[in-house]
Amino acid sequence: MARKPQDNPQLDMTPMIDVVFELIIFFVVTIKQEDIFSKLNANRPAPASSAAASEENDTQVKIDIGSGGLVFNGRMMNMKQFDQSMREISKTSKNSMVVIRCTLDSPHKYLVDALDTCNKYQMYNVSVFSI
Amino acid sequence: MARKAQENPQLDMTPMIDVVFELIIFFVVTLTQCQAKDETIKLEDGRYGIELTPEEMPPTQMTVDIARTGRISMGDITMTPEQIGQRVKERKRKFGEFPVLIRADYRTRHEAVARVMNACTANGIWKISFMAIYERKAKD
């Protein structure tokens, strides 16, 4: 059957709608939400000054990180206990210098956790040493 | 019913354009996903850190990656701490003080991180930042 020339040719929207629906479904299925990142600042004094850091100083808050976890005030702590201790300290001495000493075999996770806790209680003067 | 020969036969381009668009979108999406997948570096949570917005990432910033195995790299090129130190030296001469961001896997030993930090301090960069996850959204 021959087509008659149309007087009012109208654009057929059906394929466009089909494709738009396909695209919507495709994006809904494949879209991957990305993590939001943060940065935790620290100072890294020269290796020679690590000896000075081990000297007793009352204004310093010392945190030791080993392969087993965090040691604070000579006591091994989990994150909850550490968080509580830091909260207490931050009440009295927010501006004191925090010294984190990590052993070479400690996992990086503990250092990030310690820095994060310091940031939580607005203790921003943090130095990281390696022992 | 026999077809009459059309006087002006026109090729309908619509399905072809449809398919081409779909293919383009498919390749764009799958390619970027392949690039984003990096299983060797998983970050620890850092909810109280400074959110990494584009303003917090100045162009002079140097990002050093440390994988779970302790492999140190920059832009996917494996480097020794000495090479990192060389880069820091060159960059400091060009820009002066600049931020260093260490993107290290949470399972990696502190040894590799210490090596990178020592390479920075040896060349006059004392301020180091560690990358963490502010908010987890990606599915593992």
pLDDT at residue B38 tops 80: no
In CATH, what is the architecture of A56-130?
A: 2-Layer Sandwich (3.30)
E strand or H helix at A129: strand A126-130
Query: Which one, of B84, B117, B131, lies nearest residue A50 by Cα?
Result: B117
B22 contacts on A by Cβ (under 8 Å): 19, 22-23, 26
pLDDT > 60? residue B5? no
pLDDT at A81: 87
Question: Which residues on chain A are in Cβ contact (under 8 Å) with B101?
Answer: 39
End-to-end CA distance of chain A: 89
What's the CA gap between A47 and B38, in Å, rounded? 32
Give the amino acid at B39.
E
Mean pLDDT (whole number) for B111-124: 88
Cα(A118)–Cα(A74) distance, rounded to whole angstroms?
Answer: 18
For the stretch A45-102, pLDDT in tens is: 876 555 555 555 556 788 888 888 888 878 888 888 888 888 888 888 777 888 888 8
The closest alpha carbon to B38, from B94, B104, B90, belongs to: B104
DSSP states of B11-68 as a string? ---HHHHHHHHHHHHHHHHHHHHHHH--SS--PPB-TTSEE--GGGS-TT-EEEEE-T
The whole-number average pLDDT for the span B109-117 is 89
**Chain A residues with CB-CB distance to B under 8 A?**
1-2, 15, 18-19, 22-23, 26-27, 30, 32-47, 65, 102-109, 111-113, 115-117, 119-120, 128, 130
CB B128 within 8 A of CB B102: yes
Q: Is the pLDDT of residue B101 over 60?
A: yes
Indicate the domain borders of chain A: 56-130
DSSP state for residue B74 in the 8-state scheme:
E
Which of A23, A37, A42 shows the shortest C-beta gap to B128?
Answer: A42
Percent of chain B with pLDDT over 70: 89
User: What count of CB pairs under 8 Å joins A to B?
Assistant: 166
Q: Would strands B50-51 and A126-130 be described as parallel, antiparallel, or unpaired?
A: unpaired
pLDDT value for A13: 85
Pairing of strands B77-78, A36-43: unpaired
